[in-house]
Amino acid sequence: MTRPRRRRRSLALLAAATSLALTGAATGPAFAEPAPDAPEQVRNGDFSDGTSPWFTYGAGPIGVSDGRGCATVPGGLANPWDAGIGQEGIPLVAGGEYTLGFDASATPGTAIKAVLQLGSAPYTSYFAVDATAGTTPGRIERTFTAPADDARAQLIFQVGGSTDEQTVCLDNVSLRGGEPAEPYEPDTGPRVRVNQVGYLPSGPKNATVVTEATEPFAWQLKSAAGTVVASGQSTPRGVDAASGQNVQTIDFSSYRTAGTGYTLVADGETSHPFDISGDIYDQLRSDALQFFYIQRSGIAIDGDLVGAAYARPAGHLDVAPNKGDTNVPCQAGVCDYSLDVRGGWYDAGDHGKYVVNGGIATYQLLNTFERTKTAASAGGGTALGDSTLRVPERGNGTPDILDEARWELEFLLRMQVPAGKPFAGMAHHKIHDVNWTGLPLAPEDDPERRELHAPSTAATLNLAATAAQCARLFAPYDAAFATRCGTAARTAYTAAKANPTKYAPASDSTGGGAYDDTNVTDEFYWAAAELYLTTGEPAYLTDLTASPHHTADVFGARGFGWQGVAALGRLDLATVPSGLPAAEKTRIRASVTVAADAYLTELRAQAYGLPMPGDADSYFWGGNGNLINNAVVLATAYDLTGEATYRDGAVQAMDYVFGRNALNMSYVTGYGEQAAKNQHSRIFGNQLDPELPNPPAGSLAGGPNAALQDPFAAQLLAGCKPMFCFVDDINSYSTNEVAINWNSALTWIASFLADQGDGAIAPHGACRVDYVDYGLWHGGEGFTAQVTIRNTGTTAIDGWTARFAFTGDQKVREAWTAKVTQSGATVTAKNESYNARITPGETVTFGFNARTAGGANPAPGLFTLNGAACS
């Protein structure tokens, strides 16, 4: 998730645009005079509301001094366009008459140029004014006629090129003229709002109708042929607070016949078409994960895998014009070394890489895989195994989802401070460009110098937590990498405890998001939990149980994200097998179901079915990711209990994401009749350059943001009701960006949804398993265990196959009274001829010896018999 920030345009493109300007007082179309009542097009031109939406590039941040907007510009810049102060989203109307005016001063004094220009390539100049700014503010006013229509022009004050450092100040910046902006009216399509992807045959099926009616009305479900297949009456819900709409809801869950092209007809409106099917989410599982490969840094993206439109050379590997990531120095004063920090994923719409956001995204991919070891509906992970994804590592014997997570893990490990250096073992907070770059910009074309930013406690604990996960999950596939991860995790945790309050500053936001966080108690809890689950060591158990988060409610009403990660530790403690006492496990698991119960209560109260409150505070930057994380909690409660109400809540929560919302908009590219496709991204810039692609299918938009934290949204959506505070435009980075932590949430829930098949709740098997570990042998190199299976049903079992998964590196060496094989962490035991039949009430037992290099060795969390889960 990208924090609030200001964008700048590519210096090279700015140079190309402004090099066309003629010298003189003003360049552009002939002078004209706007009407006396012409509207003002510049926002906050007098800086009375602070500095938003103004931004700088090549200069220090803009601040308010004596009521003026001022910035420090370094001396020695070669060109005027090497530094600037600007504002985006300026509307121009072709033939419109405008007056541009501003007060400017500079100490000790410099030439400046005000340029109105196209806000994207080729950055054509519409009008320019040259001026000399001295120590006393002077007023400049010029009139002109706009030569073109442009709703998103830039006003840039070019302030570079002086030999001396300058303090440049602006005030009373004004652009009067043109026509008043037309009120923005989103195209919301039919008033019947449905999940445009579809519904599971045996799952919940709900819709919302925007209407003036206050009494129930009839609805009809129609097949693709137009046949009415179900009907009923709506339920009035009154005015929905988040949208301001009077609405009614429809529940057609009782209809369970699979098919395509269904529509719902109500109140004279027909919904977008949708399917009813058990496989509607299968492709989404793949596509949501595919996003990460296309976001990779430091590797060429193979069009044969993902489509020619997404093929590109490797970015940031020191190939001109890149300055590269293989030998990156620190910011001035931070360190005296450079690091090879290639690889990883580009965080969001920019080319930055941030450890704290990479941490939660990596966790969710790893946890998506780890869930396959413990969730009865996960099918043992076959859908996430090797050669299931379109990644270059397919076919290497490792599950593809782990291969994808490893690409980021390798980057996170490279961000660790080397031994012998100050803060050794900690992790640098982030690495990104020195200055903001413009839209669009392919990674391989980024000309900016890259910098490492100071280590932080939060980043260090993210490394500790994810590396600990890595150590146990990669152990069956790559023991050396797992060991490397485990060592890094321990080192990072120790370094964080030695430096518990080294925080990333909020002010460090030039060229990249700050990702600041001054409360890291949650990160300590999460890291201690992961290290305990991996190692089983008492020291980590002591730390996690001493944390205030261990007994606190860590599941907030508005979900969890990168800045609040205690929920990650709690979810893993609830699901990953461990040596915790039974009573403690019960308490921890109950905390998940209590949170899920609260989300269900909220979901039922919301006319659009969201497990989040309906106030403006619930619609924030990246809120779609947090909402999905609440669905993750509901899904986890189902995995823990098998209770259908939790599964149905998770499924229904996703209706909002796929179109059951006020905008009738699916927030996932390629999914739904009306879906977001212009997310803010430098890579996927089709809206600005038709030769570039839209984001790939499976890309999640951040979603409505009532704070309107970018100038485009602020101008277009002022006064919006929270659920309407979204626009599918590349310029709206605060509502419509892509980000790895949002797509990781989508990945987790997409995998869960795909696992549900047609939505029928699979009954538990008529069996019970007792697992006994008889202890270590060969000086701790291995252990002996026995599994007893009891038939708790009323009919005999003729032939059986039992499966379970280890948590780490355990490997069966030999077994008795069953044919035992192992693939990765998964053990499969099949009956011998003499013990194939288990009559009701009887048991069968098999045992094995296994090797292990150490670490936690709890009893497996899930046993299945002939595919059904045993108690």
Q: Active-site residue numbers?
A: 350, 680, 728, 737
Taking the alpha carbons of 83, 88, 90, 91 in that order, is the dihedral positive or negative? positive
- At which residue do the structure tokens 């045959």 appear? 201
Torsion of CA 629, 631, 634, 640, to 10 degrees: -70
**Three-state DSSP state, 270:** strand
Cis peptide before 91 (omega within 30 of 0): no
| CB-CB contact of 848 with 784 (8 Å) | yes
Residue (of 242, 186, 192, 189) closest to 213 by Cα position: 192
Burial 498-533 (b: 16+ CB within 10 A, else e): ebeebbbeeebbbbbbbbbbeebebbbbbbbbbbbb
CA atoms of 114 and 431, how far apart (whole Å): 32
Tokens of residue 713, six digits: 């949204």
CA atoms of 421 and 409, how far apart (whole Å): 22
Alpha carbons within 13 angstroms on the beta-carbon side of residue 163 total 0
| CB-CB contact of 83 with 159 (8 Å) | yes
620 by Cβ neighbours in 10 Å (0-12 / 13-18 / 19+) ranks as: buried
Residue (of 513, 579, 511) closest to 544 by Cα position: 579
Residue (of 337, 421, 252, 365) closest to 744 by Cα position: 365
| CB-CB contact of 127 with 32 (8 Å) | no
Torsion of CA 459, 464, 465, 469, to 10 degrees: 140
Residue (of 789, 796, 793) closest to 839 by Cα position: 796
Three-point CA angle 544, 545, 546, nearest 5°: 90
151 by Cβ neighbours in 10 Å (0-12 / 13-18 / 19+) ranks as: middle
Residue (of 620, 622, 329, 354) closest to 509 by Cα position: 354
CA atoms of 158 and 59, how far apart (whole Å): 10
Phi, psi of 695 (to 5 degrees): -55, 150
321 by Cβ neighbours in 10 Å (0-12 / 13-18 / 19+) ranks as: exposed
Which DSSP string corresponds to 368-398? HHHGGGT-GGGGGGGGGSTTSSS-TTTTSSS
447 by Cβ neighbours in 10 Å (0-12 / 13-18 / 19+) ranks as: middle
Tell how far CA 612 is from the center of its chain: 18
Residue (of 713, 691, 759, 685) closest to 195 by Cα position: 759
CA atoms of 145 and 160, how far apart (whole Å): 27
Residue (of 82, 139, 142) closest to 116 by Cα position: 142
Rg (CA), the chain: 29
Torsion of CA 508, 514, 515, 517, to 10 degrees: 40
